[in-house]
Amino acid sequence: MKWIVVPLIIISNMAWSSGQPPELWSWIKDLDKSKEACEIQSSFVLQAIKLENQKETKYGIYGNVKSNSVVVKCIEISMSKSKLMVAVAGNNRDSVEIIRNKIVGAIN
């Protein structure tokens, strides 16, 4: 549970700095690939959507797309299976939804 809660807290704090409560959209998806393959594909997808200030920590890959904060986390289930967790926060509901859907749809 910690691997889900910590990234959500971090991303909501990043978006909260504007003074308004952020929109927070997330998704968890099962993948038929290793955690490492998930992380590699996630990094490529985030570069393709022009993620700025990309940082990789033990809690996931973080960065910004325009005024939105993004975190992507890959969790090992077995050697050939993983879970993808994506969270996007920002003040504009439409942009948060679009970014979240783009990331989730591109990682499979």
The pTM (predicted TM-score) of the whole model is: 0.80
pLDDT at 21: 83
CATH class of the region 2-106? alpha beta
Determine the Cα–Cα distance for residues 95 and 108; give it in Å rounded to an integer. Answer: 22
Please report, as a single letter, which amino acid is at residue 53: N
Q: How confident is the model at residue 1 (pLDDT cuts 50, 70, 90)?
A: very low
pLDDT mean over 10-33: 77
- Other CB atoms within 10 A of residue 66 CB: 10
Distance of alpha carbon 105 from alpha carbon 48, whole angstroms: 13
Domain boundaries defined on the chain: 2-106
Q: What mean pLDDT do residues 43-63 have?
A: 94
Cα 49 from Cα 65, distance rounded (Å): 8
The answer to whether 79 and 12 are in contact (CB under 8 A) is no
Give the pLDDT score at 15.
Answer: 45
Q: Taking residues 9-33, report their average pLDDT.
A: 76
